Structure 1
Amino acid sequence: MHGTPVSATPTTPADPFPVRRLRVEVNGASFHVIEQGEGPAVLFCHGFPDTAETWLRQMRAVAEAGYRAIAPDMRGFGRSYAPAGAELYSALHIVGDLVGVLDALDVCSAVVVGHDWGADHAQRAMVLRPDRFRAVVSLGIPFQPRGELSTWDALREQGLGERYYAFGMMKPGAHVSFQPAEKSIPSILYWLSGSPSPDRGWDPVDSSRNMLRPSPVTVPDWADPAYVHHTIRSFDETGFDGGLNHYRGAQATFDLMSAFKGVLIQQPSLYIWGTADGLGKLFHPSPPTREDLLPLAPGLVDVIALEKVGHWPQHEAADRVSSELIKFLRGLDLPQGPA
């Protein structure tokens, strides 16, 4: 293993599955990684605004099931490399990070699990490096192959250029509206979840139902207070600009992936989404079936819809997500050992 341990303190003195904290060098940059368990590798990718800690429930379940769970703080987040230029946040850069993490940990190939932007990057990893990523589980974001229009141009054509939430997040100085983290993180967790009434929850095209409204609770009842505290502390230290660069880098991804236009995900895949997720409602005017999504991902195994769950299924329905993930993993022909 090439990674440098930061800490490997077990959760309890007798814990057979301690969380190991490492700092690894990836293409000349430093990344913070947590891992747990031994066996075939499962690489977890988080989204915005989050860190690797979002996966702790799933990582333990995966470790107990006989797999090696690995989760980096993604580029721009937590204690990992955070370059200033938005052009350095394309999927090609991020997939390079993911391959570099595998290399640093002597992992030949992995199943990749992603949520939010992490799902989008995981899907591009399947397209760009099918030799290193053998299967994918996407939470909240369905796969869309590279087409004729970028995501942002497609939204503009639909008349959403002034309404879709992400356009505001890409503007210079947008990070200021997310400060301080002690207010914005509880707001984002609550309003994007399934906790609010359906007429009050987050709507990505309605500014009156934005994600930064004051939250009525400090910690939602489905969230681990330690996770919320860690996330607040992390963004207090880093700010939000690095995370927002994932939105700004999406156009660069489109521009750089012209050679992959129309390429589908052929490997086994699983899609999990919450029916109360504002993004899900935008992507899915009617609930998608496996048959609906198979033309884009011929290896799709199943579509799991989680009722009354919003944008945070790994927390709001943690046990169900872990169960579906392990079921999916056990259905794959994964080699035992370091590969």
Structure 2
Amino acid sequence: MSPTATAENTVLASIRKHTGSENPSAFLAMSRGTGAFTVPGLDGFIAHRRTGRYLVQLGGPFAAPDDYIPLLDRFVAHAHEQDLTVVGAQLQRADAEIYARRGFTVNQFGASWVVHLPEFTLRGTRFMRMRNKISRAHRAGLQIKEASAQELTEAIRHIDDAWLRSKGEEARPLEFLVGELGGPAQEHRRLFVGTIDSKPVGYISYSPVYGSRAGWMHDLSRRIPDDTPGLMEAINAHVIEVLRGEGAEWLHFGFTPFTGLAQDNELPGHSPAFQWLMHFLWAEGAALYPAQTQLAYKDKWAPQAPIPEYVAFDGPASLPAFAHIFRACNAF
């Protein structure tokens, strides 16, 4: 069930002020179809979706420090009372350590990527190819502006349909761990659209990020499939200058599964078999998720060291539980 307006305000307040605000993807908890588990007397919530016999959790509890573990324990008990199993995705390192102490099996799932805007520049040899692509997009007539999703409803639908068809007959739009457009939370996002000859050809949606690396997250991005190079790079480069002019410190590129994997990121008690699976999916798992393609785009912007993110299993690491994360994302 989607939260009511009052519940949405409570969720947003918790995202902004509590421990979970250090999760750069925290705002995704505001998406329609994502539930908010709360307990009277405890300050915070847990974002989740149910798929089959699993409750798939986004991040750790967004809760006051004293209420974090009680809320987590109540959530797990709530799941067990219904004969359901909890699996958590995109936990931050601090979450992962707590979950491991509570008996979960915790493994690195991937990483998120971020750029520090005050020191960012497209000058230099590294960015020569990108600068050329951006120049070609502008020579093709690309114009970029910030707009509301409401005024571009039909254009967005057209772009989305063309983008999805280009992915093949079996492609489905992802949800849950990916942002959305529309709904009550839209007023907090920012949308930048590129046009050529007044025709919208691509857009990028940015979601707010709170915590010590506050800024914006490069979230949902789609374009008309054609031969024009540099469209998305040009839009994002434009946005970087807008955000820097506003004094923003950080631009996040979000979570990519199977990336940034490192032995040093694993916790005691992790599953070696699941660790092997993550490395295998990085190398061979493009059919499940195009991690290498996604990372190639993010790596163009010279991000900081990756921020490891984790998956937590209520019990031993489980392939069915892991598969239900992707089911919650509408991947299949």
Please report the TM-score for the alignment, with normalisation by the length of structure 1.
0.34
Q: Which has the higher contact order (CA 8 A, sep 6+)?
A: 2
Q: Which has the higher strand share?
A: 2
Which entry has the higher C-alpha Rg, 1 or 2? 2
